Amino acid sequence: MAAAVYLVLLLLAAIFAPLVATHDPAELAVGKPFSGPAAAHWLGTDDLGRDLWSRLVYGARVSMKTGLQIIVLALAASVPVGLFSGYRGGKVDNVIMRIMDALSSVPALVLALAIVGVLGPGLTNASIAIAIAVTPGFVRFVRGQTLAVRQETFVEASHSLGTRERTILRKRILPNVASPLIVTVALASGAVLIAESGLSLLGLGSQPPESSWGSMLQRGYQVILTHPWQVIVPGTALALTVLAFNLLGDGLRDALGLGVPKAVGLRGRLGLTTVAPRPDLAPEAPATDGPAPLLTVSGLTVEFVTEAGPVTVVDDVGFSVAPGEVLGIVGESGSGKSVTSLSIMRLIPSPPGRIVRGSVVFDGRDLLTLPFAEMRKVRGNDISMVFQDPMTSLNPAYTVGNLLGEAVRLHQDVNRAGARARALELLELVGIPDPKRRLDDYPHQLSGGMRQRVLIAMALSSRPRLLIADEPTTALDVTVQAQILDLLRSLQAEFGMAIIFVTHDLGVVADLCDRVLVMYAGQVVEQASVTDLFERPRHPYTQGLLRAMPQVAGRSERLVAIRGTVPPPTALPAGCRFHPRCDHATDACRAEPVELLVRGDRPVRCVLSEELVP
């Protein structure tokens, strides 16, 4: 606070220099040369008898103005470049970073000297030179922050709504980069002032008779041995100002809670961008009875490229969803549920992820081959997503009204007032109490359940025909989970939309879904209607999941855990991927990969499925 007060006073003094200064800073012989501080000249006079206080005040004006120019120039160049580089990644990022590396390899002041050498001395040229010299640091900083923010779930959620990249950069990423950037700018301002004074000290910055702290230092330096006061005055002002900027930067960093690096979830660390379309054909999805499917996923195969080579994380997955149907995708963590659902939206991280085979046909069009602009229209309009953690899925820099209003305007031609009215309707629709007041709340002011309702409201803003809910109740307590499930059930009935519900909770599946897809180690192992699956599970993994599920009836029975864990995609066992955990495994199970075949009335990936019917 002290630093801020000092800087505000300095700024006011610089702005109102004619009122604060006691003399004209350029007027010669207003006093005896080299006179010390006195009532007539508070800080004494210089070698030409000019008033030092007045020169210091006007010098502050020049130095602050120059510092501001440099910062504005550097930000104008570095923010767009850093945002673009961090957001795009890949080759573009590589090229930009190598250029910044080359610029950074020369010390900033030396680089500035070289540029001034080319442009010629003068304050404007010095400003340009210093701006160029500090730009690589700013670019690196903005790019680093962008890399972190683009991995947040609320950016992923924006992609799923079909938001334009430009809007994501401007409204999702920039506001979240702004706070740490302000801190960095505050810390860099001191260095910029020193650089400007350094160039002026060398005679390359401000030129006589203009007064800046650097030019005052230059004159004082020539008489430092006989009249040190001439250096002490501008030197102290400069030192105090640099210290104030540094303290302000530190204070802002603490106040904004930026001192400790933020934790980013696994999905966040992976980063989420779109993947290039892969038109390869693949085996058809298992056929289902009933109306023509709204979505048909066939032979979907997704790889992640690691240092050891490509690793398949989703292997030949196929299923379909009819209009108005609720399909549950279940399995333990690592079974490939989330990658499958993200692949439908072409939102898997790339790199390292890539869809290598398959098709995702929605309403007659293969989403994997759609041009990017077309795919963006599908996201949010026809297919929406709700994510697991409502706190990280909502942009913390915007109010609920802004978030919902933007989602509405993205897909509907309405003005701000119309979007706000629609946002209010959506909040009422998802049962948020006192919706009018909540419109102006920020996500952190809402409870977990309310945040998830807001997320659902955003997903429903364009009345999608398919909602993909990726573990939307996992982060909520049991009571709120039940409320959210009730809400989804009633909204599904009201809108008639299809839902893909990704979960590891079979209780939720029983409650909400019509059909179930059981996944294990990246593969579908069983697919059935909810009734069939619960009454007659055929795959030993499904049977294990059901045995491990707490039930109200039969409380005295011990729950049976499936021993072991899901193997990582880098160490899949030969033969049936479930065999190390399966009580029924035989040599035949270990010998050959097991195909997903229709056994009896449903697709099951087990050689003993007929024998193991309970």
Cβ at position 586, least distance to ligand SF4 in Å: 6
Say how far apart CA 400 and CA 439 lie, in whole Å: 5
Cβ at position 605, least distance to ligand SF4 in Å: 7
Report residue 119 as tokens: 């442009």
Cβ atoms of 400 and 428 within 8 Å: the answer is no
How many chain residues bind ligand SF4 (CB under 6 A)?
A: 12
Closest CA to 335 of 551, 589, 526: 526
Task: Return the number of the residue (83 or 606) whose C-beta is nearest ligand SF4.
Answer: 606
Indicate whether 608 belongs to the interface with ligand SF4 (CB under 6 A): yes
Closest CA to 525 of 551, 545, 507, 503: 545
Say how far apart CA 595 and CA 606 lie, in whole Å: 8
- Piece in contact with ligand SF4 (CB under 6 A), picked from 245-253, 303-311, 466-474, 602-610: 602-610
Given 585, 596, 599, 602, the residue binding ligand SF4 (CB under 6 A) = 585
Say how far apart CA 222 and CA 203 lie, in whole Å: 12
Task: Return the number of the residue (149 or 566) whose C-beta is nearest ligand SF4.
Answer: 566
Indicate whether 508 belongs to the interface with ligand SF4 (CB under 6 A): no
Cβ at position 520, least distance to ligand SF4 in Å: 9
Given 214, 358, 540, 544, the residue binding ligand SF4 (CB under 6 A) = 540
Indicate whether 594 belongs to the interface with ligand SF4 (CB under 6 A): yes
Given 576, 599, 602, 603, the residue binding ligand SF4 (CB under 6 A) = 576
Cβ at position 538, least distance to ligand SF4 in Å: 9
DSSP element (H, E) containing 255: helix 229-255
- Piece in contact with ligand SF4 (CB under 6 A), picked from 30-38, 374-382, 479-487, 579-587: 579-587
305-324 binders of ligand SF4 (CB under 6 A):
none
Report residue 147 as tokens: 């890399």
Task: Name 604's bridge partners.
Answer: 526, 597
Alpha carbon of residue 455 to chain centroid: 16
Measured between alpha carbons, how far is residue 482 from residues 109, 329, 485, 486 in Å? 62, 18, 5, 6
Indicate whether 538 belongs to the interface with ligand SF4 (CB under 6 A): no
Backbone region of residue 548 per phi and psi (left: phi > 0; alpha: psi in -120 to 50; beta: other values) = alpha
Measured between alpha carbons, how far is residue 125 from residues 215, 483, 525 in Å? 15, 64, 69
Cβ at position 526, least distance to ligand SF4 in Å: 10
Report residue 536 as tokens: 């007659």
- Piece in contact with ligand SF4 (CB under 6 A), picked from 27-35, 67-75, 446-454, 578-586: 578-586
Cβ at position 604, least distance to ligand SF4 in Å: 9
Q: What is the DSSP string of 301-342?
A: EEEEEETTEEEEEEEEEEEEE-TT-EEEEE--TTSSHHHHHH
Task: Return the number of the residue (289 or 611) whose C-beta is nearest ligand SF4.
Answer: 611
Indicate whether 596 belongs to the interface with ligand SF4 (CB under 6 A): no
Given 354, 379, 579, 602, the residue binding ligand SF4 (CB under 6 A) = 579
Say how far apart CA 339 and CA 539 lie, in whole Å: 22
Indicate whether 141 belongs to the interface with ligand SF4 (CB under 6 A): no
Phi, psi torsion values for 320, nearest 5 degrees? -140, 160
Cβ at position 261, least distance to ligand SF4 in Å: 43
Indicate whether 578 belongs to the interface with ligand SF4 (CB under 6 A): yes
Q: Which residues bind ligand SF4 (CB under 6 A)?
A: 540, 576, 578-579, 582, 584-585, 589, 594, 606-608
